[in-house]
Chain A
Amino acid sequence: MTETSARTQEVRTTDGIVLRFAGDSGDGMQLTGDRFTSASALFGNDLATLPEFPAEIRAPAGTLAGVSSFQVHISDHDITTPGDAPTVLVAMNPAALLSDLHLLKPGGTVIVNADAFNERNLAKAGYESDPLEDGSLDGYTVVTAPMTDLTKRACQDLGVKPREAERSKNFFALGLVSWLYSRPVKPTVDWIDGKFAGRDTVIAANKAAFAAGHAFGETAELGASRLMVQPAALEPGTYTNINGNTALSWGLIAASQQAGIPLFLGSYPITPASDVLHELARHKNFGVRTLQAEDEIGAVGAALGAAYGGHIGVTTTSGPGMALKAETVGLAVSLEVPLVVIDIQRGGPSTGLPTKTEAADLLMAMYGRHGEAPLPIVAAQSPSDCFFTAIEAVRLAVEHRTPVILLSDGYLANSSEPWRIPDVKQLDSIAVNFASKPNHVNDEGESVFWPFRRDERLVRPWAIPGTPGLMHRIGGIEKEDGSGNISYEPDNHQAMVRLRAERIALIAHHIPPAEVVGDPDASVAVVSWGSTWGAITSARRRIESAGHRLAHIHLRHLNPLPANLGDLLRSFERVVVPEMNTGQLCRMLRAEFLVDARSVTKVSGQPFTAAELVEACWEEIGTTGAAR
């Protein structure tokens, strides 16, 4: 600890901090990180978060397996990632320190709960000697605080039992970092009042711990470590801090409003998708129906049934659930009914890494059904973008009468960022057009309804039960184009397979063209999809500020691909495709356009860092290391 006086110390200003809270699963690190984030958001910083938690609800206390972390990047300018490496690590116990110290930037700050560094905890984590004393932390700025003890003392006159008081130590940590990084106090105090309303001793204990942490910074003369991150100059507007799953849920509600038909969600609990079910279940006043089904197949089946009945049928899941839903999605392809299938991807195969991110379901989305069963695929690029991607998925499903797969991932699901709330009057409407009258005259001269008579976009009518005169029977058996009657005729099947492919391909004319961000005349283009957008954007800015050129093409629509994409890709010397899989989009682009795209991949359960992508682009740009 540095020997300085708080009185004489002015708070230094910095352009950004990456703070990582790490502790036991039971220590409340997600909540602590979330509160720090909210206070920073209200203060006006730009920010991005990366919550990381174990798949077990409570792994054995004090062990490496039980470490739960929350990383937040706050900044005075526009940022797109939760930061490559934390500049500050808050470690609530030895296991947290051991697990996350290697991530910390050289020279960074370590804030530890000294009370937790006892022999027992050191042994549980696997330390042979105390890292606070053996020189392991040389080179870092170390702030030690007896958080447990000071929290208990702060609570001793409040009638809170010591054991319960101890549980408030995360608020001590929050108070300390709030002082160190000049966060406003009021949002957290107000939040405690609201969150724990009716539990007065809990409110008192949490507030006392928070105040004690705040005071500790001052009395322990930590002034030299104080930093301030000014508000970011973001586009004018009203902002809220939002994560991907909430944005996705709200996007589905918005789509239902824009389409003027109710939303139906069939879902089965699965990490990291369950929060969408939780969120939508809260908003019944929007006419939302949610079914927690008996299994993944029941969930998609019910969504399909609701869609057949004229609702926006949606099912949400993650990879393993996608595998189970495949047959029903194939039925929706055959029936040509609107259905939105949302895959919040996670590490696979099988149970894989339930709480870690990966984006390896693209080819499953493309081809994971039997027979020729094409459908549109869209992917979200950032937490707030999940809102607009959900609307787009519903638009494609409803207007083109097709199942649509929306790909998000575990990182987008749980990460948050400030979002400039859109004007709801500016949202596009979605055209439903239920069929209301016969559309064909048969050989006997009677007006009849043909469920598979298509319009110029090859879209069939959506005639919902309850409509007089349009009764019809459809199913998964091949049907005659037009009449929809069962047909096993060879020529008809061949025509139907081609029609189903063509009508999805035609959607390319109903989506925006691919756009280049950065320099369209650069020799290297990075092509991306999904949550890699943030790290690539950050990497591109670094490359540009080093005086080099880079083009970035980010794809929201993965099937069909934008109509101009082939020509665009062929206009670059080199094409690089970074993905959190082993090269799935890259394969698609090579197959589709015969371009010599190069794959850059990461499948560690962690998102790309900007530095990794700068490195990858640099190789392509062919600039020497000296230019860095």
Chain B
Amino acid sequence: MTDVPVTTRKDWATDQEVRWCPGCGDYSILTAVQLLMPELEVRREDTVFVSGIGCAARFPYYMNTYGLHAIHGRSPAVATGLAMARGDLHVWVVGGDGDMMSIGGNHLIHALRRNVNLNILLFNNQIYGLTKGQYSPTSERGKVTKSTPHGSVEQPFNAISLALGAEASFVARTHDMDRGHMQEMFRRAHDHPGAAFVEVFQNCNVFNDGAFAALTKRDARDSMLIDLCHGKPVRFGADGEFGVVMDGGRPRVVSVADVGADALVVHDETDPDPSVAFALSRLANTNDVPTPIGVFRAVERSEYGSAVTSQIAASQSKAGPGDLHKLLHSRPTWQVA
């Protein structure tokens, strides 16, 4: 697309004052997106950001594109209609864990299952921010919040497991402390035809500060983040001293010295069977153990809007373009003189 005008970050930013709390992880995600957009070679007018309700859902106001700030939980549904109607657009969906995994959980899983051409960014901060600090469906068991003064007794969702279980064709995870990694994941999501789901570990410094610090602070990353790379053994640690093996169908973190490099599982994001990707997603269900990031799954599957459009084209080539007069006379008729 050589005719796309050259743009800079400035062209993708609006004049609206950004109203997130100072220090919020959302700022770094916004910066990553605004810096990435000029590289994607798309037109601003062909780009739409759709959101629901919550802190993350304010995102569209800060992007100089078309933007639709809808209602709580419904952004995947609204975006589904838009993407079905307009296959020419690049539709991004932005929301938090309450918005997309709780009130909008149903729309999310069905958008993933249908493989609608959407780039879905889940800002997971494991807390309700805009309503001032209640536990969310990704909050850990025992979490003490205003609505769980004695600690949450609920099992949280693992967003990656959920997306894989919902038949998502593209599933990735990144975090708000690494702009380069975020941009790589967002770019991959953009390039993926169909529904792309990216979970972003995002810090809410007001209501859940440091939720991911054990994983994402600079000196912890090497030993706590397992960067999944397609075609390579799953390996981490400052010197790659740790790795993951599949042991009786279950993933296990090992010392490479103990098992040998050949025993490590080789990551295949294109595997049509999501079992291994799911297994990798189960390595960490709390934020204090080594946690995989990167692309878990990226498989080709018929994209929903195009499939619908092809049915329309097939129907038109078979029956001809719609003829209203013919339609109204398509059932038995009779004449009254």
Contacts and interface: CB of A to CB of B under 8 A. Distances in A.
A466 interface: yes
Contacts of B88: 466
Interface string B309-333: 0011011101111101101110111
Nearest to B321: A285
B70 A306 contact: no
Nearest to B65: A471
Contacts of A474: 67-69
A475 B70 contact: yes
B45 A241 contact: no
Contacts of B71: 327-328, 331, 476
Contacts of A287: 312, 316, 322
Given A466-B86, A470-B45, A238 B81 contact: no
B328 A236 contact: no
A465 B50 CA distance: 12
A295 B45 CA distance: 31
A424 B324 contact: yes
Contacts of B107: 294, 297-298, 301
Interface stretch (A4-12, A122-130, A139-147, A250-258): A250-258
B264 to A, nearest CB: 39
Contacts of B131: none
Contact of B81 (A236, A264, A283): A264
A36 to B, nearest CB: 14
Contacts of B77: 293-294, 297-299, 301-302, 305
Contact of A41 (B81, B324, B334): B334
Interface in B283-337: 308, 311-312, 314-316, 318-322, 324-325, 327-329, 331-337
Contact of B89 (A298, A299, A307, A465): A465
Nearest to A293: B77
Contact of A475 (B44, B64, B69, B334): B69
Interface string B62-92: 0111111111001001111111111011000
Interface string A475-513: 111000000011000000000000000000000000000
Interface string A421-435: 110100000000000
A235 B336 contact: yes
Given A240-B328, A291-B81, A301-B77, A465 B66 contact: yes
A235 B337 CA distance: 8
B328 to A, nearest CB: 5
Nearest to A420: B336
Contacts of B50: 305
A238 B324 CA distance: 15
A101 to B, nearest CB: 33
B328 A250 contact: yes
B14 interface: yes
A285 B60 contact: no
B69 A38 contact: no
B322 A257 contact: yes
A287 B71 CA distance: 29
Contacts of B252: none
Q: Which of A42, A253, A308, A310 has the most CB of B within 10 A?
A: A308
Interface residues of A, number: 72
Contacts of B44: 471
A300 to B, nearest CB: 8
A184 B16 CA distance: 73
A406 B89 CA distance: 30
A467 B83 CA distance: 16
Nearest to B64: A471
B9 interface: no
Given A302-B77, A309-B86, A471-B45, A424 B322 contact: no
B81 A310 contact: no
Q: Which of B47, B51, B312, B337 has the most CB of A within 10 A?
A: B312
A421 B50 CA distance: 42
Interface in B1-39: 14, 16
Given A254-B324, A298-B107, A306-B81, A240 B331 contact: yes
Contact of A473 (B61, B79, B319): B61
B187 interface: no
B102 to A, nearest CB: 14
A285 B315 contact: yes
A284 B308 CA distance: 9
B46 A291 contact: no
B16 to A, nearest CB: 7
Given A253-B322, A309-B89, A466-B89, A241 B332 contact: yes
Given A305-B50, A305-B77, A295 B106 contact: yes
A234 interface: yes
A257 B46 contact: no
A289 interface: yes
A485 B16 contact: yes
25 contacts: A237-B335, A238-B333, A240-B334, A241-B331, A284-B311, A286-B321, A287-B316, A289-B84, A294-B109, A294-B110, A301-B78, A305-B82, A306-B82, A311-B85, A327-B71, A328-B71, A331-B71, A421-B329, A424-B328, A465-B45, A466-B46, A466-B86, A471-B64, A473-B69, A474-B68
Given A311-B85, A313-B81, 18 more contacts: A231-B336, A238-B335, A240-B331, A262-B85, A264-B85, A284-B314, A285-B312, A285-B316, A298-B106, A302-B84, A306-B82, A306-B85, A420-B336, A471-B64, A471-B66, A473-B16, A476-B71, A485-B16
Shortest beta-carbon contacts, A-B, top 4: A475-B69, A305-B81, A286-B322, A302-B81
